[in-house]
Amino acid sequence: MRRVPYDPTWPESWKTAHRYDELEIWNVTTHSSRGHSIAYGVRMAKTLELISSAIPSNARILDIAAAQGNYSLRLAEQGYRVVWNDLRAELEGYVRLKHEFGTIDFCPGNAFEIAQDGEFDCVLIAEIIEHVAHPDEFLNKVARLVKLGGFIVMSTPNGGYFLNNLPKFSECENPEQYESVQFKPDGDGHIFLLHYDEISALGARTGLRLEKHCLFTNPLTVGHIKLGLLLRFLPDPFVHCIEKALQFLPGIVTRKIFANSASRFQKKTVTIN
């Protein structure tokens, strides 16, 4: 992935994408942003591992709401045939500047208007489902794009995290009330943070089998509850050692102390519209 020098003549969406790239990919951080940078690296590594451990290179992958294309570009570099998608069509030009090698096609716009149902070996939905008012309907639409026997890989904040105070989707009687605020970016746009039991149930209702689910990024890793102050002094290897050590705790504990999750589903039945 090519590191692109900043250009003040860029459109605002490119400038924003570049700021995030400097923080998330190139680790240009301040003390206050180090937790974000570390957490992003862990999340990307976990998500890409879910793909590479089950899906052979040269497979066709659709990356929905791919933004500045970091996952798309990494996957292309690993030998996958990737389709980048985002509603913000102007970001395509920025992603093209960063593309060095590998096969990547561009299909901006509404992913569910792509006339390629059942043609992808895998669809990646990274940090998206928490921004929609109807995660069940969203997952059903994503499943239509995947081949029978293909995969969906999803990352999303963990609803069971002890700092989460958002409503639980399975207990919401009227998700329509959130339609006017869905699709907003960043943490301010989160509507529901899915719990483990909800993720498994939503997949089953859509003809998907939850194959693997992992939790990661503890309060130290992400710098929550003022632990970001410690990140000023702790070296990266130590932070990652703490992250790995906590993985050995019982599930009832990890579902409370880890802030993020990633899941891999396999499509077992034909999706019903």
* Angstrom distance (rounded) from CA 46 to CA 41: 9
Q: 244 Cβ partners below 8 Å, 6+ apart?
A: none
Identify whether 159 is part of a domain: yes
Is the residue at 251 inside a domain? no
Nearest residue to 23 via CA among 39, 12, 8? 39
Most distant CA pair in the chain, distance = 52
Separation between Cα atoms, residue 156 and residue 128, nearest integer Å: 7
Amino acid at 210: L
Could you tell me where the beta strands, DSSP code E, fall in the chain? 60-63, 81-84, 104-106, 120-126, 146-157, 208-216, 260-267
Residue 21: predicted pLDDT: 96
Residue numbers of the domain that contains 197: 12-216+261-266
Tell how many helices (H) and how many strands (E) occur in the chain: 9, 7
Question: pLDDT tens across 202-251, in order?
Answer: 999 999 999 999 999 999 999 999 998 899 899 999 999 999 999 999 99
pLDDT computed for residue 273 by the predictor: 54
Mean pLDDT by 10 residues, the chain (273 residues): 96 96 89 88 97 96 96 98 96 97 95 83 97 95 95 98 95 93 83 96 95 97 92 92 96 96 92 56
- The number of domains in the chain is 1
Residue 230 lies in a domain: no
User: Strand 208-216 vs strand 260-267: parallel, antiparallel, or unpaired?
Assistant: antiparallel
In a domain, 272, yes or no: no
Distance (Å, whole) CA 247 – CA 21: 28
Q: CA–CA distance from 22 to each of 19, 27, 69, 229 (Å)?
A: 5, 6, 14, 21
- Residue 205 corresponds to which tokens in the numbers above? 């209702």
For residues 193 and 164, the answer to whether their CB atoms sit within 8 Å is yes
- pLDDT at 59 (0 to 100): 97
User: Could you tell me which residues are beta bridge partners of residue 104?
Assistant: 82
Classify 132 as helix, strand or coil: coil
Tokens of 234: 């702790």
Q: Which CATH number characterizes residue 125's domain?
A: 3.40.50.150
- Has residue 234 been placed in a domain? no
User: Does any domain span residue 99?
Assistant: yes
Q: What is the pLDDT of residue 270?
A: 65
Q: Is 235 part of a structural domain of the chain?
A: no
Residue 248 lies in a domain: no
| R_g over Cα of the chain | 18
